[in-house]
Amino acid sequence: MASHGIKDQVAIIGVGCTPFAEHWDKSLDDLIIDAAHATYASAGVAQTDVDAFWFGTSQSAASGLAMAGPLKIQGKPVTRVENYCATGSEAMRQAAYAVASGAYDVVMAVGAEKVKDGGYQGLNAFPIPTDGTQRTLTAAGMFSLILPAYSSKYGVDEDQLRYVVARIAEKNHFNGARNPLAQFRRETSAEKICQMAAVAGKLSVFDCAGVADGAAGVILCRAEDAHRYCDNPLYIKALSMVAGTGAGSLDPDYDYTTLDECRWAADDAYAQAGVADPRSEIAVAEVHDCFTPTELLLMEDLGFSERGRAWQDELDGAFALDGRLPVNTDGGLKSFGHPVGASGLRMLYEVWLQLRGEAPDDRSIPVTGRTLGLTHNLGGYPGEMVSFVGIYGTEPG
């Protein structure tokens, strides 16, 4: 038994993404329709050309009806997918496997979230009956536990580390400012962020992902059929998903300086794709920067930095637009916004633009000859999360 992957069996032939924003004037249906039709246009297919659909939403709706209804999809399978904040990637993963299995020729995944109808700032978990003993901390509170742990493990001064993660937000705002679809399009400085009031641990609201409504989509087909639809498709090199056991909240060995599920998913994905050295092979990475400390740890867990060195690499600008491995070139969750079910597909949208040389000039990555892009999407908390890593390339084989 092994994780074989589906390298080069499935191609991406079209993507679509709505602006991520507080869409007071758009419903979930509107967002689904906008994203789906943008995706059809990108792929040059009609809705009737698509054989099966996967719809990812964390808590805006239930069942495939939520997509079939507004799009008036007739007589086709539509499956609703949920896997916390990795929902969008999970929808795409299911769709890709359906093509690889031979069950369908052309499939679509759409992820969407309507968070601004809830009446509260931030994201709020759907209430499931419990015994009342569960932790009630916010996600910001949970991820804020990373900083003191990292500081003490690697001997990085707490104020210094706080500045480092503010630099991550600064970088992502810089990129988002150059993205017309992003929620926050204003640059900010790490110094300003450090001066803001803390809301959870040392984190300020500017260390948190933007909370936005939005939707994104992707259309996939068999790799050998790709050129029927598209001159320069992307090929799926790896899709990996790991669900943790919740070890972090019960195992004293867990120290809040690594996200095991992300590391395992990355290792599996690199094996599937045949990537030996991500630092020299990945051209662009879109990662799940739900909070600034998350991106810090991800640089190590994804193998972009040596263990305990990501903070220094961040200061050196290694992951900036012109750095050695540009990360979150579209602004990331931080600046692009985080409509939960859509975020994983939004990442893929950016990889599509960057690898095909279609990103706007002011935020296109340096030409390196590398042909691979990576998306990383997680859901949950340090020590108890689901994690997805996908790798895509411009060349088959």
Partner 1 sequence: MRGIIASGAYIPHRRLDRREITEMFGKGGGAGTRSVASFDEDTTTIGVDAARNALGGTPGIAPDSLWFATARPAYLDKTNATAIHAALRLAPSVGALDMGGAIRSGIGTLRTALGGVGTTLVVAADMRDGLPTSSDEAAGGDAAAAMLVGDDTTAPVIAEHLGSGVATDEMLERWRIPGGSRSRTWEERFGEVAYAPLMKQAFAAALDDADITPESVDHMIVTGLHGRAVKRNTRGLGIPGEKMVDDLTSKVGNTGTAHPALLLSSVLDTAMPNETIALMMLADGVEAIVLRVTDAIVDHRPAAPVDEQVAAGAPVGYGKFLSWRGMTEVEPPNRPAPNRPSAAFAHRRNDWKFGFVASRDRSSGMIHMPPARVSQKGGAVDDMEPVSMADTPGTVVSFTIDKLVHSPSPPVVFAVVDFDGGGRAPLELTDVDPGDVSIGMRVMPTFRRMFTSDEIHNYFWKVRPLRSTEPGSGS
Which residues are catalytic, by number?
Answer: 85, 338
Q: Which of 111, 201, 214, 303 binds partner 1 (CB under 8 A)?
A: 201
Longest dimension (CA), the chain: 60
Name the one range near partner 1 by CB under 8 A: 62-70, 138-146, 168-176, 364-372: 138-146
Pick 205 or 271: Cβ nearer partner 1: 205
Q: Shortest distance, CB of residue 133 to partner 1, whole angstroms? A: 5
Q: Is 199 a residue that touches partner 1 (CB under 8 A)?
A: yes
With binding defined as CB under 8 A, does residue 145 bind partner 1?
yes
141 or 396: CB nearest partner 1: 141
Binding mask 155-194 for partner 1 (x = CB under 8 A): ----------------------------------------
The three-state DSSP-derived secondary structure of 220-260 is EEEHHHHHHHCCCCEEEEEEEEEECCCHHHCCCCCCCCCCH
* Contact criterion met (CB below 8 Å) for 356 and 394: yes
Residues 2, 24, 25, 133: which binds partner 1 (CB under 8 A)?
Answer: 133
Least distance between partner 1 and beta carbon 62 (Å): 18
Based on CB atoms, which residue is closest to partner 1, 41 or 137?
137
**Cα atoms in the Cβ-side hemisphere of radius 13 Å centred on 74:** 3
198 binds partner 1 (CB under 8 A): yes
According to the binding rule CB under 8 A, does residue 200 interact with partner 1?
yes
Candidate residues 144, 328, 329, 387; the one interacting with partner 1 per rule CB under 8 A: 144
Q: Which is nearer to partner 1, 256 or 349 (CB)?
A: 256
**Which one among 30, 76, 149, 370 touches partner 1, defined by CB under 8 A?**
149
Which residue among 47, 79, 138, 371 contacts partner 1 (CB under 8 A)? 138
Q: Which x/- pattern over 226-265 shows residues binding partner 1 (rule: CB under 8 A)?
A: -------------------x-x-xxxx-xxx---------
Residues numbered 67 to 126 that lie near partner 1 (CB under 8 A) are 120-122, 124
Q: Which residues bind partner 1 (CB under 8 A)?
A: 120-122, 124, 127, 129-133, 135-138, 140-142, 144-145, 148-149, 152, 198-201, 245, 247, 249-252, 254-256
